[in-house]
Amino acid sequence: MARFSRSSFSLENFRQQLANVDALPQLCVLGLVSGVITGALMVGFRLLLETGAALYMPENNPEAFEALSPWLRALLPMLAVSLVGVFLYRQKATARKLGVGHVIERLTYHQGRFPLRNWLNQWWVGVVSVLGGLSAGREGPAIHLGAAASSGLGLKLRLPNNSLRVLVACGTAAGISASFNTPIAGVIFAMEVVMMEYTLMSFMPVILASTMGALVAQLVYGNAPAFSIPEVALGSFFNLPWIVVMGLMIGILAGLFIHISRSQWIQQQPLWLRLGAVGLLTGLSAWFFPQVQGIGYDSVAAALNNQLTVSVLLALVAIKLVLTSLTVAGGIPIGIIGPVLVIGAAMGTLCGLVGVWLWPDKAADPSIFAMLGMAAMMGAVLQAPLAALMALLELTHTPNIMLPGMLAVVVACLTSRHLTGCEGFFISSLRYGLHPLQQPLMQALSRVSVPAVMERSFVRTERMITAEEARKLLETNPVWLIIERSTQEKPVLALRAAELARWLMERDASEGAANDPQEIIDLVEIPGQRLEMAPIALQATLSEAFIRLQNNALGALYVVHGYRPKQRRISGIITRGAIERYYHYTDPRSTDGQDAKSLDHVPLLRMTAANALP
């Protein structure tokens, strides 16, 4: 019977396993833990909203703005923007980045590491924006809080950076799942919008995280669907052309939403003017139409049950769209998915009412168009059709709506993308050229940490050694010699051990050679190619090593292990050839030693995305 030592289950061994691309069991364990943590945080965030609503909202309902006096609901937005201006904008610009866009940015450019200050700011900004009556959702705070907490777990355990990427996706999925009771939509959103890739190694941990997040939330709030939907059916296929027309109109609305949100003219205005305009316009709109405040899920429920007047529907389409996009452009970090669903539901209901007026005998119930409008608007704004369809299914629990839903979502996505020239909301906020998360090569290299491919067979030596010491260095058959320099200003060098062995053999075979074991050898002067090296952390991914080697005139990197300056040690060497061999298949029967050696000197510029499809 096989025995397992305690070291087999050590944290260090767990880290080493996570460095590889096939560490699925370990990632699944992390997904489970991440889901529980994120689910608990989302319950805490919703309780915080309810606690704040208990101060002035009827029945402790954070969305009961209609029951407030006109003066109070008009003043709340001004108070909210004042708090944001005073307490958020006094901080550094980097501390003001919150929400889904911040999550994607940290995943793209910072290996999924999140600043603590931004995470703390997200708590109170999320509460103030929702309870202050701004047109804002809670999914932005949910995703940021969950992703950052999950990443923080990985940092606390000092896990490799490739596992931090998966933890960010786990936190994102669990945050969506726990907030809206939509576990499948949470998974698809994390992969489609945040990770921007679909891989088996990411899917399973994210599914487990989303499941645990939903279970934790259901233990507190139950498992009832978000909306109560009447029994309806599409009826005649005559409705399909009208659904296409609705998709076109919603796609144009989505493009308008993104254009206003990204307006450079608005963003260049003084801060006091932007915040004042948001507060004033929101308060003025709330005086007449309180439905435009907050997330608006109560308005969605009313629209699905045909309980809203035409004037309110028009206000939700026009006013809420302008208010939400203006709030984003004004610099207030809010969640947009909730308001986007409300706008889509209202627009869909209006299209349904027009259909009933034009074709009373064949037109479907307006509530069907409301459901389709929700998915179409979400899909078009985010350019995430699968996430929108899964959200439609889980929010409404109406499977027979999927066929027309696919038609509406695709038409709206195509219209927004090609007719209005808008890409996904979060991509458009980050992209200058090709987004790094959309590059297949960078995706492939980000899935693995450097310990998985680094060369561990090496010895460290000083520059000046005797012939006897040189032979002792070669007794263990190392692949590399790491030549340490006299000062830190001089770069560390790497020399292949074979070069030293060849030089010693030639020296011994030469006529008249003095076979003095104490002869001093200068390892920098003997024939052979030496690689200048720079340090890289053990937790780094191959994508980090790739960029480091690409941007610097370096031949290799030495991997540093240890977290305290005096305890750091070198764990291995990673070369250009090692990175290439990771994603280039080479038949060993057709590759001799000289070819393998030459890979270490091939420029990385010839690595194209076509060679690295995941």
Supply the DSSP string of 332-344, one letter for each residue.
---B-HHHHHHHH
Using one digit for the tens of pLDDT, what is the confidence trace for 81-132?
Answer: 999 999 999 999 889 999 998 998 888 888 889 999 999 999 999 999 999 9
Residue 510 in this model has a pLDDT that exceeds 80: no
In 398-494, where does DSSP find H-type helix?
402-414, 425-428, 440-446, 467-473
Quote the CA–CA distance of 186 and 207 in Å, as a whole number. Answer: 9
pLDDT confidence bin for 604, thresholds 50/70/90: very low
Q: Are 213 and 240 in contact (CB under 8 A)?
A: no
**Helix, coil or strand: residue 574:** strand
59 in the Ramachandran plot: left (φ > 0), alpha (ψ -120 to 50) or beta?
Answer: left
Name the residue with higher pLDDT: 286 or 138: 286
Average pLDDT over residues 547-551: 77
What is the fold, at CATH topology level, of the domain defined by 8-221? Answer: Clc chloride channel (1.10.3080)
- Which residues have CB under 8 Å from 565's CB, separation 6+? none
Q: Which long-range contacts (CB under 8 A, 24 or more apart) does 520-523 make?
A: 520/464, 520/465, 520/466, 521/464, 521/465, 521/466, 521/467, 521/470, 522/463, 522/464, 523/461, 523/463, 523/464, 523/465, 523/481, 523/483, 523/493, 523/495
Cα–Cα distance list, 130 to 46, 139, 301 (Å)? 11, 11, 18
Is the pLDDT at 255 greater than 60? The verdict is yes
pLDDT grade for 613, boundaries at 50, 70 and 90: very low
> What does the block give as tokens for 156?
């606390």
**Which band of pLDDT confidence, cut at 50, 70 and 90, is reported for residue 602?**
very low
Mean pLDDT of 51-73: 89
What's the pLDDT at 542? Answer: 84
Q: How confident is the model at residue 596 (pLDDT cuts 50, 70, 90)?
A: very low
Assess whether pLDDT exceeds 90 at residue 607. Answer: no
Domain boundaries, the chain: 8-221, 239-438, 449-506+517-611
Confidence of residue 397 (pLDDT cuts 50, 70, 90): confident
CB-CB contact of 542 with 450 (8 Å)? yes
Distance CA 383, CA 387 (A): 9
pTM of the complete model: 0.82
Lookup result for tokens 């896990």: 159
Q: What is the mean pLDDT of the chain?
A: 84
Fold of 449-506+517-611: CBS-domain (3.10.580)
Q: At 433, is the pLDDT very low, low, confident or very high (cuts 50, 70, 90)?
A: very low
pLDDT at position 359 is 84
Pull the structure tokens for residue 28.
Answer: 């699944």
Backbone angles phi, psi at 420, to 5 degrees: -100, -5
Residue 612 neighbours by CB distance under 10 Å? 17
Give the pLDDT of residue 260: 94
- The fold of 239-438 is Clc chloride channel (1.10.3080)
Q: pLDDT tens-digit profile of 267-277? A: 999 999 999 99
Q: What is the pLDDT of residues 448-473, one digit of tens each?
A: 888 888 888 888 888 888 888 888 88
Q: Is there a common fold for 239-438 and 449-506+517-611?
A: no
pLDDT value for 539? 82
Place of tokens 């030496």: 530
Neighbours of 587 (CB within 10 A): 6
Mean pLDDT of all residues in 584-592: 46
**pLDDT average, residue stretch 315-321:** 95
CA-to-CA separations, 187 to 197, 207, 447, in angstroms, rounded: 12, 6, 18
Across the range 293-307, mean pLDDT stands at 88
